[in-house]
Chain A
Amino acid sequence: MHMRNQRGFAMPAAIGALVLIGVLMTAGFYLSQQELRIGVASKNANMAVNIAQAGANEVLGNWNGYQLGNIAVWSDTTITDTIANGIWEVSIANGNNYVYFLNATGTVTDGGVRWAGAKRTIGIVTKMIFADINPPAALTTRGKTEIKGGAIVNGTHLTPPAWSPYCTAFSTSDTTGVLTNDTSIIGTSGGGSVAGAPAYDQDSTIVDSTFTNFGDMVWAELTALAAAEGKDVSSLRPTINGTAPDTTASGACNEATLTNWGDTLPTAACGAYFPLIYANGDVTIQSGGQGQGILLVDGNLDLRGDFLFYGLIVVQGNFETQGSGNRIVGAVMASNASVDQQTVTGTSEVTYSRCTVQRAILNNASLSRARPVAQRSWIDLTAVAN
C-alpha cells in the first residue's frame, strides 16, 4: 500500500524553538564574552598603571646617583625591567640637575597573546634632596698659609673640559680665592699667586665646626657614609700611590677597588662615579693619579705631584702640596686646627668650581635622593597625551 507524505507541524515547531533557544544562548555567550573582555581590559588597564608605578617606585627608591646623576641637562636615560605581570620602562629626564622628570610606562604581559598588551604611562616630577655642602672659597682655611713656587689658588670659577653638558644648571659665579680667619697670615712668594673675587677674604666666624658641620650633616656622618660605600681608604695610609679608574672584565666601573676614585672624563666607565672617600689620619698621595668626589682626611694631606682631583677635599689637619702638576678643581677646606704653617707650593693649582663640587654631591647616592615634589608630582600621562 502506498502512503502519501503526511506532514504535521510538531517537528517544525520544535526545530523553530530549538533555533530560537540556540540564538538566545549564542547571544548570551556573546554578551558574556564581551563582558569578560571588558572586565579583563579594565583590570589590565589598572594593572598597567600599577606596573608603571612599580617602575617609578623602583627608580626612586634606589636612586642611583652615580648613573642618573650623569645624565646631561635636558637629556634622559631609560631603565627597563621585567616583573611578575609585565614590563616597566622608566625614562629619567634631567630638567636642571635638581628637578628630574620620570616617565614610566607599564605594559601587561600576563595572559598571553589574547589578553596581554595593555599599556599605561604615568609621570612623576621629582626633586633632588641633597647634603648642604657649600665651600665658600677655593681654599678655606686657618693659620699661616704660604702660596709659593708656581702654585696658584684661584677663586675664578672653572668648568672642566668635557664637563659643559653637565654643568649648565650650576652657578658659574666666581668666589674668594683664599678665605681665612686672618688674611694677614696669607703669604705669597716666588711665583705663587692668589686670584678670585676677591683674591683674599677674612671671615672671623671660621671655627672648627666650619670644617665639620655641613647643613644637617656632621663629620662623623659623612665618614660613616664613606665607610658604608666601601671607600674608607685608611688601610692604604700613610701613602697612597697612583689612584686610577678601574673597570671590571665586562668594562663596568669597578667601585670595589680602593684606589678607584672615579674618572674625571665624564664619558668614561667611571666618569659618573663620585665616591665619598675617607682616610682616618695623615695621608700622602704620590706617584700621580686622579679622582673625583669628596675626599675626607682626618689628619694632614700632602700632595706630592701630578694628582688631579675634581670635587671637594676637606682636611682636618694641614693641606700641603709640593712637586709639579697637582691640580684640584673644586674646593679645599683645610681646618688646620693646630694653626701650623701650611705650604702650597710646586706648580700646584687649586681652582674653584661649583660644578665639580655640586656634581660630587648630587651624583653620590649617599648624599642625594630624588623625591616626588609636593602636591602635584603625579601625572596620568596616558590621559594627558590624548
Chain B
Amino acid sequence: MTRGRRGFTLIELLIVTVLGSLVVLASIQVLLVNRRVYTAQAATISGQQTTRMGIEILFAELREVSASGGDILEMSADSLRVRLMRKFSIVCATDFSTPPSVTVIRDFLLNNGDTLYIMGGTNRFAQSDSVFIFADNRENTMNDDVWIGAEISLVDPTVTCPQDGDPALKLEFNGQGALFAADSVGVGAAVRSFEKFTFGTTTMNGDVYLARRDTASYVPMTGPLAPTDGLAFVYRDAMGNVTNVETDVAQIEVTLRTGSGVLNSLGRMVQDSVQVWIHTRN
C-alpha cells in the first residue's frame, strides 16, 4: 500500500520563498530605520547631556564670581579666566602677633541639632591655600569693608574654638603681618579660599571639548562640542549691556553647541545648543 506522502510542489516552494523574502526584507528595512532613528536619538541625547553637563559645571563655578571684587582676571569670546571660590569658614579667634593667625571653625553645630558641615569631607583649608578674609572695620558702615587676600603658611588642626571647644583649624600667615595691619579682622569674619582657572576648549582625538586649566594644560570636562563655535561667552553689566570691563560684569552669557557626524532621518546633522545667562551672585 502506498502511503499518502506528498512533498512541496515547486509552486508552493516558490510562493513560500517569495513571501519569506518579502518578510525578511521588510524586517531588515524596519531594523535599518530603527537603527538610524536610535542612532540619531542617541546622538541627540548625548548632545543634550553634554550641553547640560557643561552648563551645570559653568553655572556652579561662575555664579559665585565677584566681578567687582576682581575675580574676573581675563575674558574673551571663547575663554574666561577667573578666581573660583572654594572653601569657607568662620573665624572664632584671632591672634595678630607674629605670625598673624586666625582660628576657624570646622563644623558648626546648630541649636536645632543639625550640623552645618562647612568643612566636612576633605574640603579643609590647607597650607598654601590662597584665601580672602573679611575685615569688617567700622561696624556700622559697609564702605570700609575689605577682603584681605593672603596665603596660608601653616595649618594647625589641633586647636579648638574658645566659644564652645569645637574642633577648629588655626591658619597662620607667616611674613604677612602687614596685610592685617590696616584692617580689622574679628570673630565672626568669613574666610574663603580660591583657585584660579581658565575655561575654554581643547581638542582631543579630533574632537573639541569644554575644558578647564589652572596653569597647566587644559583638562577636558565634557564634549564633544561643535568644532568651530562650541563655546561662546558674552559679558554684560547689570543693565544687560555688553561690556568689556571685567569689574562691570554682572551677567555672563554662555552658549554651548554640540556637533556630531550623525545624520537624522531628514539627513541633517544632529546638533544641539544651550544658552544661559549666569547672573553672578556676588
List residues of A whose CB falls within 8 A of some B CB: 1-2, 4, 6, 8-10, 13-14, 16-17, 20-21, 24, 27-28, 31, 35, 38-39, 42, 73-78, 91, 93-96, 98-101, 103, 123, 125, 127-132, 169, 215, 371, 373-381, 383-386
Which chain A residues lie closer than 8 Å to B215 at the CB level? none
Which chain A residues lie closer than 8 Å to B119 at the CB level? 384-385
- Cβ of A374 and Cβ of B118 under 8 Å apart? no
Which chain B residues lie closer than 8 Å to A128 at the CB level? 139-140
Which chain A residues lie closer than 8 Å to B141 at the CB level? 129
- Cβ of A373 and Cβ of B92 under 8 Å apart? no
Question: Could you list 5 examples of A-B contacts with CB < 8 Å?
Answer: A75-B111, A99-B190, A103-B108, A125-B190, A378-B63
Please, how many angstroms separate the alpha-carbon atoms of A28 and B5 in the complex?
49
With beta carbons under 8 angstroms apart, the residue of B34, B116, B117, B136 that contacts A99 is B136
With beta carbons under 8 angstroms apart, the residue of B8, B24, B123 that contacts A384 is B123
Q: How far is the CB of A21 from chain B (nearest CB, A)?
A: 6
Contact A14/B145 with A78-B111, A99-B188 known, Cβ cut-off 8 Å: no
Q: Which residue of A lies closest to B122 (CB)?
A: A386
Please, how many angstroms separate the alpha-carbon atoms of A74 and B16 in the complex?
88
Please, how many angstroms separate the alpha-carbon atoms of A197 and B121 in the complex?
51
- Cβ of B110 and Cβ of A13 under 8 Å apart? no
Which chain A residues lie closer than 8 Å to B30 at the CB level? 17, 21
Which chain A residues lie closer than 8 Å to B27 at the CB level? 13-14, 16-17, 20
Q: How far is the CB of A289 from chain B (nearest CB, A)?
A: 31
Q: Identify which of residues 1-54 in chain B touch chain A, using a CB-to-CB cut-off of 8 Å.
A: 4-5, 8, 16, 19-20, 23-24, 27, 30-31, 34-35, 38, 41-42, 45, 48-49, 52
Q: Identify which of residues 162-188 in chain B touch chain A, using a CB-to-CB cut-off of 8 Å.
A: 163-164, 186-188
Please, how many angstroms separate the alpha-carbon atoms of A208 and B145 in the complex?
32
Please, how many angstroms separate the alpha-carbon atoms of A373 and B147 in the complex?
10
- Cβ of A24 and Cβ of B64 under 8 Å apart? no
Q: Does B126 make an interface contact (CB < 8 A)?
A: no
With beta carbons under 8 angstroms apart, the residue of B4, B42, B92, B123 that contacts A74 is B92
Please, how many angstroms separate the alpha-carbon atoms of A169 and B187 in the complex?
9
Please, how many angstroms separate the alpha-carbon atoms of A125 and B147 in the complex?
13
Contact A383/B60 with A24-B34, A75-B111 known, Cβ cut-off 8 Å: yes
Q: Identify which of residues 60-77 in chain B touch chain A, using a CB-to-CB cut-off of 8 Å.
A: 60, 63-64, 66, 68-69
Please, how many angstroms separate the alpha-carbon atoms of A24 and B114 in the complex?
48
Which chain A residues lie closer than 8 Å to B134 at the CB level? 99, 125, 373, 376
Please, how many angstroms separate the alpha-carbon atoms of A20 and B141 in the complex?
72
Which chain A residues lie closer than 8 Å to B16 at the CB level? 8, 10
Contact A20/B56 with A127-B145, A129-B142 known, Cβ cut-off 8 Å: no
Please, how many angstroms separate the alpha-carbon atoms of A73 and B163 in the complex?
9
Which chain B residues lie closer than 8 Å to A6 at the CB level? 8
Excluding A27-B38, A95-B187, A385-B117, 20 further A-B contacts by CB distance (< 8 Å) are A13-B24, A24-B34, A39-B52, A42-B52, A74-B92, A75-B111, A93-B108, A98-B188, A99-B134, A100-B188, A129-B141, A169-B187, A373-B134, A375-B69, A376-B190, A376-B282, A377-B282, A378-B64, A379-B64, A385-B121
Q: How far is the CB of A384 from chain B (nearest CB, A)?
A: 5
Which chain B residues lie closer than 8 Å to A4 at the CB level? 5
Which chain A residues lie closer than 8 Å to B86 at the CB level? 384
Please, how many angstroms separate the alpha-carbon atoms of A103 and B107 in the complex?
12
Which chain B residues lie closer than 8 Å to A2 at the CB level? 4
Contact A129/B140 with A95-B187, A101-B90, A386-B123 known, Cβ cut-off 8 Å: yes
Which chain B residues lie closer than 8 Å to A78 at the CB level? 110-112, 114
Q: Which residue of B lies closest to A131 (CB)?
A: B140
Please, how many angstroms separate the alpha-carbon atoms of A132 and B192 in the complex?
30
Q: Which residue of A lies closest to B188 (CB)?
A: A95
- Cβ of A91 and Cβ of B114 under 8 Å apart? yes
Which chain B residues lie closer than 8 Å to A13 at the CB level? 20, 23-24, 27
Which chain B residues lie closer than 8 Å to A10 at the CB level? 16, 19-20, 23
With beta carbons under 8 angstroms apart, the residue of B4, B19, B110, B147 that contacts A1 is B4
- Cβ of B140 and Cβ of A386 under 8 Å apart? no
Please, how many angstroms separate the alpha-carbon atoms of A21 and B35 in the complex?
10
With beta carbons under 8 angstroms apart, the residue of A96, A215, A376, A385 that contacts B147 is A376
Q: Identify which of residues 99-145 in chain B touch chain A, using a CB-to-CB cut-off of 8 Å.
A: 108, 110-112, 114, 116-121, 123, 132, 134, 136, 139-142, 145
Please, how many angstroms separate the alpha-carbon atoms of A281 and B15 in the complex?
116
Q: Which residue of A lies closest to B27 (CB)?
A: A17
Q: Does B88 make an interface contact (CB < 8 A)?
A: yes
Please, how many angstroms separate the alpha-carbon atoms of A267 and B147 in the complex?
36
- Cβ of A127 and Cβ of B142 under 8 Å apart? yes
Please, how many angstroms separate the alpha-carbon atoms of A168 and B42 in the complex?
63
Please, how many angstroms separate the alpha-carbon atoms of A182 and B4 in the complex?
143
Please, how many angstroms separate the alpha-carbon atoms of A379 and B85 in the complex?
8
Which chain B residues lie closer than 8 Å to A31 at the CB level? 41-42, 45
Q: How far is the CB of A125 from chain B (nearest CB, A)?
A: 4
Which chain B residues lie closer than 8 Å to A99 at the CB level? 134, 136, 186, 188-190
Please, how many angstroms separate the alpha-carbon atoms of A385 and B42 in the complex?
35
Q: Does B87 make an interface contact (CB < 8 A)?
A: yes
- Cβ of A74 and Cβ of B163 under 8 Å apart? yes
With beta carbons under 8 angstroms apart, the residue of B56, B164, B281 that contacts A378 is B281
Please, how many angstroms separate the alpha-carbon atoms of A125 and B188 in the complex?
9
With beta carbons under 8 angstroms apart, the residue of A16, A21, A375 that contacts B66 is A375
Q: How far is the CB of B248 from chain A (nearest CB, A)?
A: 14
Q: Which residue of A lies closest to B112 (CB)?
A: A78
Q: Which residue of A lies closest to B190 (CB)?
A: A125
Q: Identify which of residues 213-263 in chain B touch chain A, using a CB-to-CB cut-off of 8 Å.
A: none
Q: How far is the CB of A356 from chain B (nearest CB, A)?
A: 17
Which chain A residues lie closer than 8 Å to B4 at the CB level? 1-2
Most buried by B among A78, A169, A215, A374: A374
- Cβ of B187 and Cβ of A77 under 8 Å apart? no
Please, how many angstroms separate the alpha-carbon atoms of A128 and B136 in the complex?
11
Contact A91/B112 with A125-B134, A129-B140, A380-B60 known, Cβ cut-off 8 Å: yes
Please, how many angstroms separate the alpha-carbon atoms of A376 and B69 in the complex?
8
Q: Which residue of A lies closest to B89 (CB)?
A: A384
- Cβ of A96 and Cβ of B164 under 8 Å apart? no
